[in-house]
Structure 1
Amino acid sequence: MEHDVTGVGPRTGTVVLAEIREQRLSVDEVLDAVQDPSCGGVTLFVGVVRDHDRGQDVDSLDYSVHPTAVARLVEVAEEVAGRSQAARLAAVHRSGHLGIGEIAVVVAASAPHRDAAFAACRDLIDTLKAEVPIWKHQHLGGGGTEWVGMP
């Protein structure tokens, strides 16, 4: 399902999917969203919950989302679209409780050539992580907790 958040049909730099969900994420959905017959390069980044962080065991985590996070995600995706050579961009992030191995974020970019697809995908995930107000509350193996990504 295509979500054209820019208000126009597919074109260079179209953001086709930008959402935050409590439901499990589908890599296929994000990959399908960025498909374009003019694009020979499609890159995909999938972030999963790992069992450790900075030398500590992690049992699970919770993602908390600021009320402005979806709007900021759309803005970030549009900014990346405007400065990249990607034809189509998509990003979906989880919220709520996630266990080890669950998908936390899926980002994809398609472009006529692979270099542009790689660059746009990396720019999108890096900018999303730096600027979209989503915070991670990790539940550690020893029973403690810690917040990650708080301002």
Structure 2
Amino acid sequence: MTSTPPPVVRLVALREEPLDVAEVLAALEEAGSGGLTLFVGRVRDHDGGRGVVALDYSAHPSALDRMREVCSRVAEEYAVHAVAAVHRTGPLAVGDLAVVVATAAAHRDVAFEASRALIDTLKAEVPIWKHQRFEGGTEEWVGTP
């Protein structure tokens, strides 16, 4: 009896709940993967020389489908065994995890390249917008069309 290999795109999610790095790592468990590259994006306390106090992420209704498309493209373009991407929406505080992406491959160089392509393409193409609030009461939207 032969078993069907698991899909390469293992986890894609857009959620308001806190993100869990362990969930992403577990999704990419693959015996043949010698390299797994994980990127965690966190809310930092500054941007453009201003102190950030909080932010909110909003997503277009198509954002999850676009995330899946980007993950599928990365899976096709790189020799990876597994891909995962999870992004947070809603209100976040400084230090909260905003995005977690990872790829697993036979070798580290492929995993590094694929993970870099994954996060860069997600940021460029997926309609998720950041509303930052700064010390002193100013605010700005980032990534809106």
Aligned-partner residue type, residue 74 of structure 2 = V
Quote the residue 2:17 is aligned against: 23
Verify: 1:10 aligned to 2:6, yes or no. Answer: yes
Alignment of 1:36-115 (within 5 A): 36-115=30-109
Q: CA deviation at 1:16?
A: 0.3
Instruction: Report the 3-state secondary structure (helix = DSSP H, G, I; strand = E; otherwise coil) of the residue aligned with 2:144.
Output: coil
Divergent runs of 4+, >3 A? none
Q: Aligned-residue CA RMSD in angstroms?
A: 1.0
TM-score by length of 1: 0.92
Tell me which amino acid in the other structure corresponds to 2:141: W
Question: Quick one: which of 94, 110, 118 aligns to 2:112?
Answer: 118
- Work out whether residues 35 and 42 of structure 1, in 8 Å CA contact, stay in contact via their aligned partners in 2: no
How many aligned residue pairs are there?
142
Residues 28-47 of structure 1, C-alpha deviations (whole Å, 9 max, x = no match) = 00011111001100010000
Structure 1 unaligned residues grouped into runs of 5+:
1-7
How far off is 1:9 after superposition? 4.2
| Aligned 1:126-137 pairs, distance under 5 A | 126-137=120-131
Distance 1:43 1:10 in 2: 19
Find the counterpart in structure 2 of residue 141 from structure 1.
Answer: 135
Equivalence for 1:150: 144
